[in-house]
Structure 1
Amino acid sequence: MRTLTVVTGMLVAACAQAQDVSPGKGIYTCTTADGRRLTSDRPIPECTSREQRVLNPDGSQRATLPPFLSPEERTAKEAADRRAAAERIAQLDAIRRDRTLMQRYPNEAAHQRARNTALDDANKATRLSERRIQDLNHERKPLLDEAEFYKGKPLPGKLKQALDANDAGIEAQQVLIENQKAEIVRINTRFDAELARLRKLWAGATPGSMAPLNELPKSTPPATPKR
């Protein structure tokens, strides 16, 4: 009897908390594991592991009392609920991203224009570095000519410093060029992935129905000149 009272009390508490069903009101009904249909004016202890329907006096369903969960089962259910909620949020986010992508690029021409703009900045930076290397090579020639007078002898400090600075300048520009090449690869990879997805969306694929885009490569950390 004591066990029955405890179980009933736990059922009432769970019912009131989960379904806002006032204990002692309504008609509780369930079907046991062996097929018996039970009815009571309070939660049914024999159905602690099964769902119980709570009916109004006219027979209409007012609420549902879920199976009673042990602490371990409740913890597992809460974890499953959190995972399901996270999946729903991720799905809504995927739909939003796809719709935003389609609004930003209504057709392939618009996407290509955006690609060209992104690449233009990297190409401009590359050309600037190439011109700077040409200037440095031009500045280096008279320094090398002067160094010819000191073959087999230590270079004057000022001349050596000028040559070292010229070397460092050329190396720095070469590093910048390599960084821009890596950036161009990253830009094209991103736009290629977007275009493949957009073509499916333009063809009628439902936003959010496809696997998410792979993590796009981020800008390559700038290389530093060797010392």
Structure 2
Amino acid sequence: MRPSVSRRLLFRPSALVALAGPLLLTCGATAWAQTKPSPSGIYTCTTPDGRRLTSDRPIAECQSREQRVLNSDGSVRKTVPPAMSPEEQAAAEQRRRIEEVQRAAQQDAMRRDRNLLQRFADEPTHQRARESALDDIRQAMQQSEKRLKELAIERKPMMDEAEFYKGKRLPLKLQHQLDTNDAAADAQRQSIDNQKSEMVRVNKLYDDELARLKRLWAGAAPGSLDKPPAPASR
């Protein structure tokens, strides 16, 4: 009896090789995948009780310990510090906020200094800007002083009329006119006082600006003239 075709193929060496090839390739790929190093590295650490652990990801048992990340050849790729406690996290967040405030203040100072240098190339330019700002205040003060003199002139006939009522109660109309004149004069005097205070403020502003500009003109870097803000007390 002739053997079946399947039996003849089973005992031919070439058929065995053909059948075994795909199986060997599959097994080899599986073994290579199992031994391929993790792209994130190999984590290793020693637990508080002395056990040495290794994993292809951060080790939960060593959160409070330093963990080393190794390459496939055993060399150290990086070191992962211990996880911070809640108190350490709060302190780190506070430091981060302070640094952000300082960076923002530094950037504001740089912008302000650059704007100053763009506006004022020299001291005469700055002085002209000061005088222009003061002129507006001086004009307003002159208007108030002029109005105050006008009110004094308007008040004279009222006072002359009031002489007829010396020792007596003034007529309501005359009393109202005097009161209105007094209130208007007080308002103008208050305006003059405010304008004088504004002149002091503007001069102080330009004095501070000029002192800063002199240092910038001398070569100080924009933003380098301010101290960083002090941390806010908690």
TM-score, normalising length: structure 2: 0.68
**Counterpart position of 2:69:** 54
- Structure 2 stretches of 5 or more lacking a match? 1-36, 46-51, 230-234
1:193–1:213 Cα contact (<8 Å) kept: no
1:193 to 202, 208, 211: 208
**Counterpart position of 1:133:** 148
1:92 aligns with 2:107: yes
**Counterpart position of 1:26:** 41
After superposition, the C-alpha distances for 1:49-86 in whole angstroms (9 at most, x for unaligned) are 44x55354468875552332122222222222222222
- Which amino acid in structure 2 is aligned with residue 70 of structure 1? S
Distance 1:190 1:58 in 2: 66
After superposition, the C-alpha distances for 1:138-179 in whole angstroms (9 at most, x for unaligned) are 111111111112222221211111111111111110000000
- Structure 1 stretches of 5 or more lacking a match? 1-21, 31-37, 215-227
1:179 aligns with 2:191: no
**Counterpart position of 1:116:** 131
SS of 1:128's equivalent in the other structure is: helix
* Structure 1 position 196, deviation (Å): 0.6
The RMSD of aligned alpha carbons is: 3.2
The 3 A distance-change label for structure 1 pair 198 and 148 is same
SS of 1:54's equivalent in the other structure is: strand
Aligned identity (percent) is 54
Q: Which runs of 4+ in 1 moved over 3 A?
A: 22-25, 27-30, 38-50, 52-64
TM-score, normalising length: structure 1: 0.70
Higher Rg of the two aligned structures: 2
Q: How many residues in Structure 1 have an aligned counterpart in Structure 2?
A: 186
